[in-house]
Amino acid sequence: MKYKMLLVLILALALTACGAGNTSNQPIPTVVLDSGAVNGSPTQSAPQTSSNNGDVAASGIVVPAQDAQLAFALAGNVEKVYVTEGASVQAGDLLAELDNDLVQIEVDQAQRAVRELTSPAAIAAAEQVVATAQTAFKDAKNKVDSYKYRRGDSETIDYYKAQLVLAQKALNRAQETYNQTHSFSSADPIRATATTNLYNAQKAYNTALANLNWFTDPPSENDVDLANANFDAASAVLQEAQWYVAELKGESIPAEATGAQLAQLQQARDNLKAAQAKLENTHLLAPFAGTITTLNIVAGEYVVPGQALIAISDVTNLLVTTTDLSERDIANVSIGQSVSVFVEALNVEITGQVLSISAVADTLGGDVVYKTTITLNELPEGIRAGMSVTVQYQ
């Protein structure tokens, strides 16, 4: 306490001495001592930082809720411009288009190709292919199955041996009878009967021999491999034909479906989609409702892909973005937090909420700052994009 009183006396004397030689009427400044002195020594005050008790503030600017720079994806000559600068448009409105006569021809050709491949005649032809493939598949399957059951047991083989003996005996007897009618006229009923009996006996003998050979002479490994390969090929052809018919009829097919005709149809459809997309790219459409703020395009002009031609902004829905919220204050700001926004040009204050906080920082004059976006609860008359504001976080 004595130290403080002594310090005040010294300062007062110093100020008095200075004032003696000063004829002006300047007021003497008041000296405030730090009451937080420790062990008799004064301490320096730390820099003031904002807190979450309403002291956090930042400068900002009114911005459109949405804005976009529009360009064509294709190069070409501008056929027509449908808007003027300052015009209001709705989402999807046609703003400008390129000369697209050649692109339209591509679309027409692609459409014809798809129609030909999916016509009733094409479907009927595909169904015929399926029927033919089914027959080939059945034959190939029977061949494979016959090889699987070609070996017979001893009783079966004895049976067919006996059948061959009987067939041989019948054939010999028919041959002898036929020989006895050698001198008869071919129109003679006896010779005709002998001829018929001989033919039938020979046929029965051939069948008996073939049956016996079937069970006693198994197929070679090459025969089996060939039969299996033919079966696999017939199965694949049938499956692909069935997939193609299903696709033509609009039925579902698996993602792994294959086939030359299926690939041809898919390629034709892809070509049509590509041509239609190219035609769409000759149109410049409004991505959202807004106002045309910049128009750098005229009919007849040649433009290149990516060249910014039209700017559109949603100036009926405005937001506020801050520009200098310090890194020292960002911890006291959260999404949904209430704020008050003072619009300097209008001298009005409105309320809002924090919509978003930038995930990364920026720098402003060497200071680290974060951008926040504010939604406004109301839009006062006369407010425009670009106006300066002060944001006070509640």
Q: What DSSP letter does each residue of 167-188 carry, written as one string?
A: HHHHHHHHHHHHHHTTTS-TT-
- The pLDDT tens digits of the residues spanning 37-86 come to 333 333 333 333 344 455 899 999 999 999 999 999 999 999 999 999 99
Per-residue pLDDT of the chain (394 residues; tens, 9 = 90+): 444 444 444 444 444 444 444 443 333 333 333 333 333 333 333 333 344 455 899 999 999 999 999 999 999 999 999 999 999 999 999 999 999 999 999 999 999 999 999 999 999 999 999 999 999 999 999 988 877 765 667 888 889 899 999 999 999 999 999 999 988 988 899 999 999 999 999 999 999 998 888 777 777 789 889 999 999 999 999 999 999 999 999 999 999 999 999 999 999 999 999 999 999 999 999 999 999 999 999 999 999 999 999 999 998 899 999 999 999 999 999 999 999 999 999 999 999 999 999 999 999 988 999 999 999 999 999 999 999 999 999 9
By the 8 A CB rule, do 385 and 65 touch? no
- Which residue ranges does the chain devote to CATH 2.40.30.170? 57-65+317-393
- The predicted structure's pLDDT at residue 212: 84
CA distance 358 to 266: 45
- The predicted structure's pLDDT at residue 87: 95
Q: How many other CB atoms are found less than 10 A from the CB of residue 130? A: 17
- The predicted structure's pLDDT at residue 32: 35
Q: Starting at the earlier edge strand, list the strands of the sheet with 67-70.
A: 67-70, 310-313, 290-295, 88-89
By the 8 A CB rule, do 58 and 329 touch? yes
- Lookup result for tokens 């034909």: 241
By the 8 A CB rule, do 283 and 94 touch? yes
Mapping DSSP to helix (H, G, I), strand (E, B) and coil, where does residue 322 land?
strand
Nearest to 370 by CA among 321, 307, 315, 313: 321
- CATH class of the region 69-98+282-312: mainly beta
Nearest to 180 by CA among 168, 193, 166: 193
- The predicted structure's pLDDT at residue 232: 96
CA distance 370 to 128: 70
**In the chain, beta strands by DSSP E:** 57-64, 67-70, 76-81, 88-89, 94-98, 283-285, 290-295, 302-303, 310-313, 318-322, 325-326, 338-343, 348-357, 362-364, 367-370, 372-376, 388-393
| Exposed / middle / buried, residue 68 (Cβ in 10 Å: 0-12, 13-18, 19+) | middle
- The predicted structure's pLDDT at residue 152: 65
CATH number assigned to the domain with residue range 57-65+317-393, chosen from the 4 options 2.60.40.10, 2.40.30.170, 3.90.1300.10, 1.20.1260.10: 2.40.30.170
Mapping DSSP to helix (H, G, I), strand (E, B) and coil, where does residue 130 land?
helix
- Lookup result for tokens 């003998």: 205
Element (H, E) at 145: helix 120-148
- The pLDDT tens digits of the residues spanning 234-244 come to 999 999 999 99
Nearest to 227 by CA among 146, 151, 149, 152: 146
- The predicted structure's pLDDT at residue 22: 41
CA distance 74 to 106: 15
DSSP state of 30: P
- The pLDDT tens digits of the residues spanning 355-383 come to 999 999 999 988 999 999 999 999 999 99
CA distance 126 to 385: 63
- Which residue ranges does the chain devote to CATH 2.40.50.100? 69-98+282-312
